[in-house]
Each structure stands twice: as C-alpha cells, then as structure tokens.
Chain A
C-alpha cells in the first residue's frame, strides 16, 4: 500500500478504512474503536530510524446514505510540515489500543494487517 505526499506538505490526509468483507461484525469493532487510543508511528525504510512515534490519530465517519446502515469509521492522520521535511520512503504503522470502561488498556491491534503501508515523501 503506497501513500504519496509532497515534501513539507500536510496534505493529503492519511486515511485508513476498515475492510468490510462481510466476514466480520463491523458494528462490534466500531464499538471498540469508539473507546480506543489510536497512534501512528513512521520509520525510515532503509535505516529503520523512527521519525514519528505516537502521533495522535483521529477517528472520522462519513455521512450515511441510509439511517439503518452501520457507521463507517476511518482512521486519519495529518502530517505536520516537520514530519514531511525529508524526502524518502518510510513505513507507517497504526496502533489501536482498545480501552475498557475505566480507560485501562485491553487488547492492541496493529494495522494494516495484510500488507505494509509505505509513505513516500517526494
């Protein structure tokens, strides 16, 4: 998975959407996402030097076409100018730390799962 962004730019927004393959119950994952801390880490591919650690991600949703349909959540991260100041190829990792009702950490999910996310600063 490749994401491209210009050097020194804050746009476009990095946006990840949950895969809705019909095999998983999306609504229960949504419930978990609503009470979670989501962070973004980025490493330079060649040197494995981290350039972003624990960047705070946001959760967004899109307007539903039908009221009855389940909410569709997106995880978003906006880069700062500093974070895109060096050209190169980086690997991005999003960590979802699920919380209980006391806000104590429970399970952790690292995405994307099936393929790597590469950030290309050009």
Chain B
C-alpha cells in the first residue's frame, strides 16, 4: 500500500463515500499542520482497521517535497512523527516514538526514545535513552527552491504472516489481557472481548535483532546518510494516544524531543510500505519528482547547449 498526497488539497479518504458514520477522524482539510491521525481507526466492521500496516513486511519509505520559501533553517523544525502523542510516562512512550526534523544549521535530525535492558546481578534492569542522529549539512543549491527528501528503512529480515507480530513484534509486548465486556455480557455466556496489555519487557528487548535494519536518507534522489542496525519503531498500544502518524510537525510528550511544526511549505508527501532501494529512489526522483517540481541540483552539471555547427563561411581553411 502507498499513500500519496500532493499540494495538500486532496482528502486521503472520502468519509461519505468510503467510510460510514463517525469512523473517519482524519482532518478533512489538509491545510492544517501538523496533519495527524490515528492509523488504527479507519473503517472495517469494528472501525479499527489499520489505514497503514502496523508493521510492514520489510520496511517503509517516506518521501517529501519541500520549499523553504526563503525561510531560515531554524523554521524547519519537526516535519514527521510516528508513535504515541502527548505521553509523558517513559515506559509508555519508549520504543513508541520517532521523528524527523530540520536542525537550525541545515541538517536532518532523527530522534527516538528507546528502551533497553540488561541482566545485572542476576536481575533484569531496564534503561531508557535518547537515540538520535544527524545528516551532513544539506547542500545550499539543492535546497534553494523545491527539494526532495526521501527516507527509507530496510529491515535486515523480511517478516511475513505471523512473524510480523511475533518476530520482535507487538506480541512480545503482551503481558496480560483484560475482558472489555460488561459483567452482564460475561455472565450470559456470550463470547468475551479481550484487550491485550502491552508493556515493555525482557522478551521485547531480547528480540530486538528482529527489528534492526538500515535507515537511509536521500536528498534529491542521492544518498546523504546511512545508519546500519537501526531499530524500527512498531507503534504499540501504550500511552495517551498511540498509533499517530503526523505530517508537517511533531507532538508534545516523549520528553519534548518531537516538539515543533515545520514552517516550510510541504508540497508533497508519500508513504510507501516497501523500502525503496537506492536505484528505485533515484528512478522515482527522475521520473516522478524532478519533472514536476522546480528543483535545482546540488551541483548543476556544466553542459553546453545551443552549440551551433560551423557554417561554411566561418570555417578556417
């Protein structure tokens, strides 16, 4: 599945035609920033089908076209967030948050609060830490007009079918369940509905290897940043408002590291549930981005054009 929004004037889902009643809490107008929604509440018989997969098989791709509108980099701020919103309890937002943003000196920075644990004196000790990284400074020419940022995560392992929730997935977080039916329903012998309790624990930490992969960032179809053994974010049912995908800005909570709204003009956003490789990113840039937007390359090639052939009277004998 892929999602593409251009010009921020298209509704992602037409509530009236595709979804019934109050199941569609996506902001109907897309000129709000950040444009955020819960990915787990969009239709289906229980109004809870996931609009995007909670965990894709191999990875994902984010694609943005920005224009700074001559604003300084400090106005860039956070432009993408994924995870739990407005949550301040560490054990609820850890491993449940990720953001990308511009720094004031023209780099792209990613932030994520992580969970870890180790055995100390025969007992399991939990730790939390802020994981982050920055790209080199984005080239001046290449970001002077429209510019294309592509971010890919390619997991080392492809997970299919039941591996998705079990191999380092959310089933490792489940520590118990509660019955959500009223007592009358339960006593009547009707089928009980269970809500599973998801908590960070040792099993989750032990299966970290199954969540590792390569994070890559591209500017105008060219790679500028790569980090191996990067841990993917699998949104989990923990905290105030989990399962948030937010475009054009971040959120409060999570230790304040995802706060901010980008002041840059967001011209196009895309989310693809496959990790594009470097050649596919370049191809996408050449075919679907460069011809449509006003992009200046980091280093324009010096190519002569309009070379007129020598006419006979100008030839030197």
A: which residues have CB within 8 A of B? Answer: 31, 34-35, 59-61, 67-68, 71, 99, 101-104
Does B279 lie within 8 Å of A103, measured CB to CB?
no
Contact partners of B288 in chain A: CB under 8 A = none
Query: How far is B277's CA from A60's CA once the two chains are assembled, in angstroms?
Result: 11
Complex Cα spacing A67 to B297, Å: 33
Query: Contacts A31-B226, A34-B278 given: A102-B299 contact, CB under 8 Å?
Result: yes
Judging by beta carbons under 8 Å apart, are A68 and B277 in contact? no
Q: What's the Cα separation between A121 and B298 when bound, in Å? A: 38
Other 14 A-B pairs with CB < 8 A, given A35-B222, A103-B297:
A31-B226, A34-B278, A34-B282, A61-B277, A61-B279, A67-B58, A68-B156, A71-B277, A99-B222, A101-B136, A102-B139, A103-B142, A103-B222, A103-B299
Which of the residues A34, A68, A101 comes within 8 Å of B139, measured between beta carbons? A101
Q: In the bound complex, how far is the Cα of B154 from the Cα of A71, in angstroms?
A: 12
Query: What separation, in Å, do the CA atoms of A34 and B278 have in the docked complex?
Result: 6
Q: Which of B224, B226, B279 has the most CB of A within 10 A?
A: B279
Chain A hits for B225, CB < 8 A:
101
- Give the residue of B136, B157, B282 whose beta carbon is less than 8 angstroms from that of A68: B157
Give 8 pairs: A residue, B residue, CB < 8 Å, sorted on A: A34-B223, A34-B279, A34-B282, A35-B223, A59-B279, A71-B277, A101-B222, A102-B298
| Interface membership of B270, Cβ < 8 A | no
Q: Which of B46-94 contact A (CB under 8 A)?
A: 58
Secondary structure of the A contact surface, majority rule: loop
The answer for the CA separation of A102 and B137 in the assembled complex, in Å, is 9
The chain A residue sitting closest to B224, CB to CB, is A101
In the complex, what's the smallest C-beta–C-beta distance from B56 to chain A, in angstroms?
Answer: 13
Separation in Å of the B61 CB from the closest CB of chain A? 15
**B299 and A104 form a contact (CB under 8 A):** yes
Q: Kindly list chain A residues whose C-beta atoms are within 8 Å of the C-beta of B299.
A: 102-104
**Chain A contacts for B222, CB-based, 8 A:** 34-35, 99, 101, 103
Chain B 234-283 residues near chain A, CB threshold 8 A: 277-279, 282
Chain B contacts of A61 at CB under 8 A? 277, 279
* Chain A residues, CB < 8 A from B142: 103
B81 CB to closest chain A CB (Å) equals 25
Interface set of B (CB-CB < 8 Å, partner A) = 58, 135-136, 139, 142, 156-158, 219, 222-226, 277-279, 282, 297-299
Specify which chain B residues have a CB less than 8 angstroms from the CB of A102 in the assembled complex. Answer: 139, 298-299
Would A67 and B278 count as touching, CB distance under 8 A?
Answer: no
Q: Which A residues touch B297, using CB under 8 A? A: 103
Q: A31-B226, A67-B58, A101-B139 are in contact. Are A60 and B279 (CB under 8 A)?
A: yes
Structural contact, B136 and A67, CB atoms closer than 8 A: no
Chain B minimum-CB-distance residue to A61: B279
Contact A103 B58, CB 8 Å, known A31-B226, A34-B278, A59-B279: no
- Assess the B157–A67 pair: CB atoms within 8 A: yes
Bound together, the chains give a CA A31 to CA B277 distance in angstroms of 11
- CB neighbours (8 Å) of B277 from chain A are 61, 71
Interface core residue of B157, B225, B277 (most chain A CB under 10 Å): B277
Tell me the bound Cα distance from A60 to B282 in angstroms.
11
A18 to chain B, nearest CB (A): 14
- Chain B, Cβ-Cβ closest to A58: B279
Looking across the interface, which residue of chain B has its beta carbon closest to that of A36? B222
Q: Give chain B nearest CB distance to A25 CB in angstroms.
A: 13
> Which residues of A are found within 8 Å of B158, using beta-carbon distances?
67
Q: Tell me which of A31, A34, A60, A103 contacts B298 (CB under 8 A).
A: A103
| Distance, CA A59 to CA B224, complexed state (A) | 18
Q: Are A31 and B157 in contact (CB under 8 A)?
A: no
Q: Give chain A nearest CB distance to B12 CB in angstroms.
A: 30
Cβ of B226 and Cβ of A103 under 8 Å apart? no
